[in-house]
Structure 1
């Protein structure tokens, strides 16, 4: 997998967490750096673990579907991307609610926003990729985006949250298309 594709994947996987962090920051009276870093760290660690879990699950099935693996990766990434776009366009502001600030609440929010990363991990099991590197990039992107999102949340509020999630969905679809291109035309 091309390094730019890995970076774009990391950014795409962090957009829903970023949107949640913007909402969290908007709901806080005055977000402080230690709150933002703590939230970013929890989200980043959870988001980094989930692709490995998905990759392990997908690796079991690889030998049965190796001739269609690139199409499966494309379908999973595209479906996730379309779902992110749909969710951003159809979810009301009231659905997000005011996020809680306890560690368990942050961990649960991190888990909720990282289910798509597990599905991406399943798709990545069917292509040749260093899953530890991809997971590290996803975790670092998420840490950075969530930390910035909490701090920017007060100023940005709901204005950018949905747009970031739409952009993340489009990026997932493009990464899926790049996987098919690399497998069909470059391989």
Structure 2
């Protein structure tokens, strides 16, 4: 596998994290470096960890993982998306809870499940796994940071409507993952 192919895989795997990062940027009045770092570490870290786990699992357990991964992503993204929509109708929170572990962990898991399957695939290819997972993680880290900042810019202009849209986007991403795995989308 060449660098070009790895780049395409890394960007492809980062797209869900990028979309969710935009939603995270919508959830705060002002983005600080800690928000960007937190989002990048969670999403980039999980995008590194999941392919590594997948690589070690190899094909031995792939049939078990692929049976439920889409349901896990669908449920996690759906719950977080519905919560975002619900919060858009309430008062603004003083505490920046949207970047705490209880919020970030389910999103990081949900957006990196497909990376687990990529890791399983890497086990069958001639590839430097350490380089590949670091490259995927760094790409996701960078794109997640850009997503948080972009979402915040949009959020300043369209706060409540953008938060509703962000929740809908998360639910749509979860639904898309589910429908693709069920064979309804190509």
TM over 0.5: yes
Name structure 1 gaps, 5 residues minimum.
Answer: 62-75, 170-187
Aligned counterparts of 2:3 and 2:60: Cα–Cα separation in 1: 25
Deviations 1:111-139 (A, max 9, x none): 22111100111112111111111100110
Q: Does 1:12 align with 2:26?
A: no
- SS of 2:143's partner is helix
Aligned counterparts of 1:128 and 1:156: Cα–Cα separation in 2: 42
TM-score w.r.t. length of structure 2: 0.63
- SS of 2:58's partner is helix
2:100 aligned residue (73, 84, 102): 102
Go from structure 1 to structure 2 and tell me whether the alpha carbon gap of 1:60 and 1:143 turns closer, same or farther (over 3 Å shift).
same
Aligned residues: 141
Aligned counterparts of 1:5 and 1:94: Cα–Cα separation in 2: 32
Could you tell me which residue of structure 2 aligns to residue 54 of structure 1? 54
Aligned counterparts of 1:149 and 1:4: Cα–Cα separation in 2: 23
Q: Does 1:150 align with 2:148?
A: yes
Contact kept, 8 Å, 1:44 with 1:143, in 2: the verdict is yes
Name structure 2 gaps, 5 residues minimum.
Answer: 88-96, 156-161, 178-186
Could you tell me which residue of structure 2 aligns to residue 177 of structure 1? none
Aligned counterparts of 2:50 and 2:35: Cα–Cα separation in 1: 23
Go from structure 1 to structure 2 and tell me whether the alpha carbon gap of 1:148 and 1:96 turns closer, same or farther (over 3 Å shift).
farther
TM-score w.r.t. length of structure 1: 0.63
Contact kept, 8 Å, 1:32 with 1:151, in 2: the verdict is no
- SS of 1:129's partner is coil
Q: Give the CA RMSD over aligned residues.
A: 3.3
